[in-house]
């Protein structure tokens, strides 16, 4: 099998402070097999003449972007929650109205369209924090994982990889009030029953689902790199991880069941952490400690764990997150949209916390916007500039995000990594005249022209090759908001 070859006008290679000009990238069976900066070539055009079979990628080519925190169905809320005042809690009531209307078919349609929008934005892998498990009154579907299966199918059809974070959600408040109304469909009763269902889902995905192959039967020798957990197979496209919804939703004595599941399976474990001061206050009142401390005391924090938001941690919490090797997924556009506050991104990074990014509620789906917000929010707080170098923002959007989702063989343009290539035009009204290193401060998702996932073209000329994204979004959202 002959390798596929691309010639990038600029490519951002690992451990480089800025992009490199004229890079030849080769891939076979979905893996990068060679990365060659054409130093000495006179111009990119000269390179193309020599390398006639290489597809030219004008602009800046990045590794695949990872969206480490998503609730796909929240896409239906975009633009619908801005009529009045309110906060996170009033927004949540509107979100529950949409949640109540979804079934496996409408969930598939909405998630497929949302994931295809992500592909258009250069996202090659998404972490879906999935808690919409059962029928509207809490009765399981005939297949208790019908909703999870819809998400697996949606990601496969949209052409991106998925880490399905099956979420344990048992109670309505930190002191154990039962789930009521629209929350009933989130609950499994207790953590042991949740674990049984999550195991069934993981076993099914491992056996059959989401391991769509990238073509060919063997990878060339010399390209072996360990994948995150190995359970998705060499070129598999779906991993099952798990999540604790929050300290509100899982009683303290059941936290260890979720953490144990992740440990046994070597799977990623995510948890919403300190998004709201009210959550901190309630946790202190019920347990005499902060949410981060409570999670640590029950084995939830650690190198395989990602805390989502961490907007209102104490100084001791920041140290604790760093000392335990826990990652943090920042979701700045959602935190902004919901008036949550600004997380301490620089202090977390200095404590040794790996930062990743998520579009969470999908008020926008644009990892360039998320990445620059990490720096710009820090500027607003400190009234100083220059907290994060462009290469640090790139790492958060790419390699750290993939690692947070259990894919340790993705997120770099490097031999042996998955062949994910995201090309951003540098000739749009937004990016013309911008030096390639400045792309994270100028480009938007609309500037992504080409997306390759595991060696396969998913987006070309700014269009998704399989999904009419605006049409499918409109139809899917109308079906659940009327
Ligand atoms: Zn979330």
Percent of the chain with pLDDT over 70: 91
Distance of CA 74 from the midpoint of ligand 1 (Å): 10
* Contact in structure between 301 and 330 (CB atoms under 8 Å): no
In DSSP notation, 347-411 reads HHHHTTPPEEE--BT-S---HHHHHHHHHHHHHHHHS----S-HHHHHHHHTHHHHHHTT-TT-S
Question: Which of 443, 356, 411 lies closest to 13 in space, CA to CA?
Answer: 411
What separation in Å is there between the alpha carbon of 309 and the centre of ligand 1? 8
How far CA 280 is from CA of 276, 284, 292, 293, 312, in Å, comes to 7, 6, 9, 11, 8
What is the per-residue pLDDT for 86? 74
Question: In the structure encoding, which two tokens stand for residue 198, read together?
Answer: 């999550």
Residue 464 CA to ligand 1 center (angstroms) comes to 26
Backbone Cα Rg of the chain: 22
pLDDT of residue 230: 38
CA of 427 to the centre of ligand 1 (A): 35
- Where are the extended beta strands (E) located within 18-85? 20-28, 31-37, 55-63, 65-70
Per-residue pLDDT at 218: 33
Q: What is the mean pLDDT of residues 293-303?
A: 98
pLDDT at 41: 53
Q: Is 309 a catalytic residue?
A: yes
Segment (H or E) for 64: none
Confidence category of residue 221, pLDDT binned at 50, 70, 90: very low
**CB within 8 Å of 311: residues ≥ 6 apart:** 274, 275, 276, 335, 340, 341, 342, 343
Q: Ligand 1 centroid to 272 CA: how many Å? A: 6
- Percent of the residues in the chain that have a pLDDT greater than 90, as a whole number: 84
CB 416, CB 32: distance < 8 Å: yes
Residue 55: pLDDT band with limits 50, 70, 90 = very high
For residues 206-216, average pLDDT:
53
Give just the sign of the alpha carbon dihedral 138, 131, 469, 98: positive
Check whether 144 has a pLDDT greater than 60.
yes
What's the pLDDT band for 232 if we cut at 50, 70, 90? very low
Is pLDDT at 51 greater than 80 in this prediction?
no
Q: What gap in Å lies between CA 40 and CA 450, rounded to an integer?
A: 26
pLDDT tens-digit map of 437-477: 999 999 999 999 999 999 999 999 999 999 999 999 999 99
Give me the mean pLDDT over the 65-87 stretch. 89
CA distance 145 to 250: 20
| pLDDT score for 93 | 82
CA of 230 relative to ligand 1 center, distance in Å: 26
Q: Tell me what the mean pLDDT of segment 416-421 comes to.
A: 98
Q: Lowest mean pLDDT: which of 203-212, 237-246, 423-432?
A: 203-212
What does the pLDDT read at residue 214? Answer: 34
Confidence at residue 210, expressed as pLDDT on a 0 to 100 scale: 53
- In the annotation, is 360 catalytic? yes
Span 265-291, average pLDDT: 97
- 415 pLDDT band, cuts 50/70/90, is very high
The one catalytic residue among 337, 360, 377, 417: 360
Average pLDDT score over residue span 2-6: 91
Question: Which pLDDT score, from 0 to 100, does residue 392 have?
Answer: 98
Choice among 133, 134, 309, 362 that is catalytic = 309
More confident residue, 1 or 92: 92
């Amino acid at each position: 099998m002959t390798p596929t070859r691309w010639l990038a006008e600029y490519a951002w290679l690992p451990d480089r402070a800025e992009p490199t000009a004229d890079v030849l990238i080769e891939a076979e069976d979905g893996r990068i097999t060679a990365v060659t900066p054409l130093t000495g070539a006179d111009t990119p055009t000269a390179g193309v003449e020599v390398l006639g079979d290489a597809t030219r990628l004008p602009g800046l080519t990045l590794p695949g972007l990872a969206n480490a925190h998503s609730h796909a169905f929240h896409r239906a809320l975009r633009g619908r929650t801005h009529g009045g005042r309110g906060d996170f809690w009033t927004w949540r009531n509107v979100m529950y109205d949409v949640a109540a209307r979804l079934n496996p078919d409408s969930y598939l349609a909405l998630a497929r369209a949302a994931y295809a929008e992500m592909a258009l934005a250069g996202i090659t892998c998404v972490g879906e924090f999935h808690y919409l498990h059962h029928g509207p009154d809490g009765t399981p579907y005939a297949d208790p994982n019908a909703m999870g299966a819809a998400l697996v199918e949606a990601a496969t059809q949209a052409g991106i990889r998925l880490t399905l974070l099956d979420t344990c959600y048992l109670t309505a408040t930190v002191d154990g009030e039962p789930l009521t109304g629209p929350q009933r469909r989130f609950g499994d009763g207790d953590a042991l029953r949740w674990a049984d269902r999550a195991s069934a889902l993981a076993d099914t995905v491992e056996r059959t689902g989401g391991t769509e192959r990238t073509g060919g039967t063997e990878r060339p020798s010399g390209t072996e790199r360990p994948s995150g957990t190995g359970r998705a197979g060499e070129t598999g496209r779906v991993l099952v991880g798990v999540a604790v919804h929050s300290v509100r939703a899982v009683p303290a004595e059941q936290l260890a069941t979720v953490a144990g599941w992740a440990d046994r399976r070597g799977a990623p474990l995510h948890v919403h952490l300190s998004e709201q001061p009210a959550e901190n206050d309630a946790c202190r009142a019920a347990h005499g400690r902060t949410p981060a401390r409570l999670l640590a005391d029950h084995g939830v924090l650690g190198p395989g764990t990602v805390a989502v938001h961490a907007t209102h941690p104490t100084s001791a919490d920041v140290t604790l997150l760093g000392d335990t090797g826990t990652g943090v997924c920042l979701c700045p556009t959602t935190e902004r949209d919901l008036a949550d506050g600004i997380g301490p991104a620089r202090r977390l990074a200095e404590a040794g916390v790996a930062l990743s990014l998520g579009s969470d509620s999908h008020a926008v789906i644009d990892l360039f916007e998320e990445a620059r917000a990490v720096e710009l929010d820090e500027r607003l707080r400190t009234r100083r500039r220059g907290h994060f170098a462009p290469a640090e923002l790139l790492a958060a959007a790419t390699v750290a995000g993939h690692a947070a989702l259990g894919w340790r063989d993705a997120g770099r343009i490097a031999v042996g990594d998955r062949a994910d290539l995201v090309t951003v035009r540098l000739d749009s009204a937004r990016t013309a005249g911008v030096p390639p290193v400045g792309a994270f401060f100028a480009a938007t998702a609309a500037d992504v022209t080409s997306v390759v996932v595991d060696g396969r073209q998913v987006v070309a000329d700014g269009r998704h090759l399989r999904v009419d994204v605006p049409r499918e979004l409109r139809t899917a959202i109308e079906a659940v908001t009327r």
